[in-house]
Every structure is written in structure tokens, then in C-alpha cells.
Amino acid sequence: MPDTAASSVLFVCVHNAGRSQMAAAFLTHLAGDRVQVRSAGSAPAATVNPAVVAAMAEVGIDIAAEVPKVLTTDAVQASDVVITMGCGDTCPVFPGVRYLDWELPDPAGQGIESVRPIRDEIEKRIRGLVDEIAPASRA
């Protein structure tokens, strides 16, 4: 039977083509089914940034099939934690939802050399988040 107490996390950035996609992929990869993961953008791009896809492939995570999704009020309300990444005030605020703002450089228009440090910082933050909200042992 699935753990119904699993935390739900929503990552939000403007285009849902870079930072939020990397964060969602890392959280899914590291926490598995212990966390429900969503990502969205306030103004989604047509595709995920190719340099972001390549940078994630370097660490063994394939996000080539991901597509940017539009931010909805329902997605925010259904989340325990909402992590924004440069979308400012476009994210609706609801009582009972924890909000974090991660200031990270935008990988839009950057080459893979510039995306790698952003990816690595996101991975570091996700590892800390997993330790906090979805430890491996719930004993």
C-alpha cells in the first residue's frame, strides 16, 4: 500500500524549461515514490532547454521526454512544499503550503558549461530537501 503521507513538492520557474525541470528530475531520482513531484512554469516554454537535457544526461538522468507545463492553482493547492526559482509573485499563495525561494541563475540561452554549476547546486539543494522531507528510513 502506498505511503499516503508522502510529501508533495512543486517546483516553479518562469519557463519550466531549466531549473524546475532539473530539480524535479533530481527529486524523483533521489526520493523515488517517497515524494510526489511536480514542476510548472508561469509562462512555459515550448521545449526543455537542450543544454539542461544534456547536463542532466551527464549525471545519468534522462529528461529528454519532459515538456514544460503551465502553473495552475490546483497544482499549488495540491502541494505541501512549493519551491520557486525566479518566478517572483506569479505563484499563488495558499495557507498551509510551505514556500521556499531558491535564487539560482537562469540557464536560458546558456551553454552546457554554464548549466553544469546550476545543475550541481540544484542537486545539492535537492539532497538537503530529501533528507528533510523524505528520509530513507521513517523508523
- Tell me which residues are annotated as active site: 13, 87, 91
Question: Side-chain half-sphere of 30: how many Cα atoms within 13 Å?
Answer: 21
Distance CA 36, CA 39 (A): 10
- What's the number of CA atoms in the CB half-sphere (13 Å) around residue 65? 2
DSSP string of 31-80, one letter each residue? HGGGEEEEEEESS--SS--HHHHHHHHHTT---TT----B--HHHHHT-S
Q: Please state whether 96 falls in left (phi above 0), alpha (psi between -120 and 50) or beta.
A: left
Cα angle for residues 32, 73, 130 (degrees, 5° grid) = 25
C-alpha cell at 103: 535564487
